[in-house]
Structure 1
C-alpha cells in the first residue's frame, strides 16, 4: 500500500503555500520599513534622553536587533530553499577528482552556497580529503564556507550597501582561491594527521532527491531558519549589544586614532585581536557596523571581521584533530597574510 507521503502534492496546495509566502514577504517589507519609528518609540517610553549616550545606545540596539534578525530569517530561508538542491555528498562528489586551479575556484564558489560554518565544515574537510579531493581545493572550501557565506553577504548588503557586499565577496573568494592554491602547491599532505591519511573512503554517494516538490523546498527553508536561528540568535543579540555600547559611548576621535586608515599598524592589530574571539558573521557584523559608524577604516574593520570568522580559535582547536600543528601554522599564516592584504587594499580603495 502506497503511503500518502509518496503522492505528489495537489497543485492547489502548492499554490496556497506560494501565495502564503508572497503575503509573508509583503508583511516583512512593511514591517522592515517601520523599524526606525518603532525603535524611537521604544526609547521614548524609557526615562532617558534620546540624544544622550544611553539613548543613542538603546536606539541602536532596538533598531538593529529586529533588523538583523529579520534579514537573517529571510536570507536563511532563501538559502535553505537553494540548499535543497545540494547535499554534503553532492558537494564532495563535485569536488572529487578536480584539478587545482579550477578545483579551487569551484570549491570557493560552493562554499558560498553550502550550509557550513567554520566548525561544521571541519567534518566535511575530513570527508573531502578521504575522498581524494586535493588538499588545496579542500582548504579553498574551508576558507570560503564560513567567510563568504550568505549570512555575511546579506547582512553586509543590508547594513553597508551592495558595493561593500560585492567587494567583500570578490576579495573573500579571491582569498579562498589563492590561499587554497598556495597550500596545494606546497604539497603538505604528509602534514595531515596519520589517521586522516589512512582513511580510504569509497566514491561519494549521491543522495540528493531530485523529485523534491516546491512545498518540500519551502519546508527545507523553514527548517533552516529554525536550525540556524537556534544557533546564532544569542550571538546576534550579544554582537548588537557590544555594537550599541560602541555606538553610544566610544568617542569617534578615539576610534579613528585606533582603527583609522592612517594607523598602518591597525590592520595587523585587528587581525590578531579577531583570532581569539568566538562568534560568527551574524554576531560580528553589528560590531562592524558600529565601528564604521564611529569612523573606523573599512579595511581595518573588515580585516577584523575576516579573522574572527575564518581564523577563530575554536576552529583551530577542531582542526588540530585533523591537521598537525605545522599545517595549522601554514594555514593561519597564508590566510592571515591574505586578510592583511585585503585590509590594506580596502583602506586604499574606500
Structure 2
C-alpha cells in the first residue's frame, strides 16, 4: 500500500503539480534573470511564469480528453438521454452531464434553451445550467494539481449537490410559466448526429482545445497576474482582515466580489491558490470561485433574456444561498480537508 501511495504521489507531483516545471522556472528566474524568488519581484515572476505554463499545458491536455469524451454526447443525444428521466433522477443526470461540457456560464445558456424547447423538465435543465460552468472534469483535475485530491473531490461533490438541489427546488416551484414565450417556440432541430469516426473525434477535440484556449487565455493571464500580486505584494494581515476567519462576512464578501468577474473556473484557480496561501479559509475561496463561475453578470444578463424576472430572482437567490451555506460549512469543517 505504501508503494502505491508513493507512486501516486510521484505521478501527482510530476504530472499535475509539475514540480519539475517549478524547478525549471526557479532556475530561469534566479540564474538567468539573477533575481531571488524569495524577493517580491522574483516571487511574482516565478508565480506568473510557472502557473501560466502549467495551466495552459494541463488545460490543453484535459480539454482534448474531455472533448473526445464529449464527442459521444452531442446535444441531440444528450436531450434523448435526459428525456428518459424525470424528478430527482433527471436532475442528478442533468448535473452529471454538465460535468462533461467544458463551457462557461454564457455558452451553456444556448444549450439550456435547446433543452427547454425540447420539453425537458425545468429542474433538469437548471441542474445542467448550474453544473456546466461550475464543475467539469478538466477543472477537477486542475484543482487536484493545485489543492490536492480532498479539496478537489469536495468541490466536485458540493458543486453537483448545489446543481441538483437548485434544479429540484425550481422544479417543485412549477415555474415553467416564467420562461419567455419564444423559448418554447424555438425550433428544435432534433437531427440525429452523424456517427463520428476516430479521426473526426480527434479533429473535434483539437478544435475544442483551440476554441476554449482562444476564449479563456486572457482571463487566465489576468487571474494569474492577480494571483501573483496577492501572493507576493498584498500583506497577509490585509487579506486576513477582509477575508479571514475572524470576519463573519468573509464568505459573503468573497461571493459578491466574484459576481462582477467574468471568467471560467480556470482563471479563478490561480487567484484561489494565492488566497489559500495567504490563510483565507477554503470555504471563502470556494465561495469566490462559485460566485465567479455561476453568477457572473454577463451570464445573468443573458439568462434575463430567456427567463422572466421572478424565475431569474429565484435562480439567483437559490444559488447565492447555496454558495453561502457551502462556504460557511467548509470553513467550519476545513480541518477535515487540510
TM-score by length of 1: 0.87
Q: Which has the larger radius of gyration?
A: 1
Aligned to 1:7: none
Q: Is the 8 A contact 2:102 2:138 kept in 1?
A: no
| Cα displacement (A) at 1:200 | 6.6
Aligned mate of 1:269, from 248, 253, 275: 253
Q: Does 2:197 match 1:212?
A: yes
In the alignment, does 2:24 pair up with 1:38? yes
Q: CA deviation at 1:250?
A: 1.1
Aligned to 2:217: 233
Higher mean alpha-carbon deviation, 92-101 vs 276-285, is at 92-101
CA distance in 2, matches of 1:185, 1:319: 20
1-side partners of 2:42 and 2:102: how far apart?
Answer: 37
Count residues in correspondence.
321
Q: Find 1:68's aligned residue among 23, 47, 55.
A: 55
The answer as to whether partners of 1:256 and 1:295 remain within 8 angstroms in 2 is yes
Question: Which of 139, 143, 157 pairs up with 2:126?
Answer: 139
Report if aligned partners of 1:81, 1:221 keep a CA contact under 8 Å in 2: yes
RMSD of aligned Cα (Å): 2.0
Contact 1:276 1:312 in 2 (8 A): yes
Question: Once the two structures are superposed, what CA deviation does each residue of 1:180-206 show, in whole Å capped at 9, x if it has no partner?
Answer: 00011011111111222344747x333
Structure-2 residue corresponding to 1:304: 288
Q: How far apart, in 1, do the equivalents of 2:76 and 2:312 lie?
A: 26
Question: Shift of the alpha carbon at 1:208?
Answer: 4.8
- Aligned residue for 1:34, secondary structure, equals helix
How far did 1:96 drift?
2.2
CA distance in 1, matches of 2:215, 2:245: 34
**Cα deviation per residue 1:138-194 (whole Å; 9 max; x = unaligned)?**
100000000011232121111001111111000000000001000110111111112
Secondary structure in structure 2 of the residue aligned to 1:278: coil
Does the 8 A contact of 1:140 with 1:176 survive in 2?
Answer: yes
In 2, the alpha carbon distance for the partners of 1:208 and 1:116 equals 22
TM-score (norm 2): 0.90
> Which runs of structure 2 are paired with 1:1-350 in the superposition (5 Å)?
29=15, 32-44=18-30, 45-46=32-33, 48-199=35-186, 201=188, 204-209=190-195, 212-213=197-198, 215-350=199-334
How far apart are residue 268 of structure 1 and its match? Answer: 1.1
Are the equivalent residues in 2 in contact too, given 1:235–1:283 (CA < 8 A)? yes
Q: Quick check: 2:166–2:318 contact (8 Å CA) kept in 1?
A: yes
Runs of 4+ in 1 over 6 A off after TM superposition: none
SS at match of 2:99: helix
Tell me: CA distance 1:302–1:38, structure 2 relative to 1, closer, same or farther (3 Å): same
Question: Aligned partners of 1:31, 1:167: CA distance in 2, in Å?
Answer: 19
Q: Once the 2 structures are TM-superposed, how far is the Cα of residue 115 of structure 1 from its aligned partner?
A: 3.5
SS across alignment from 2:87: coil
Following superposition, the deviation at residue 321 of structure 1 comes to 1.2
Are the equivalent residues in 2 in contact too, given 1:135–1:189 (CA < 8 A)? yes
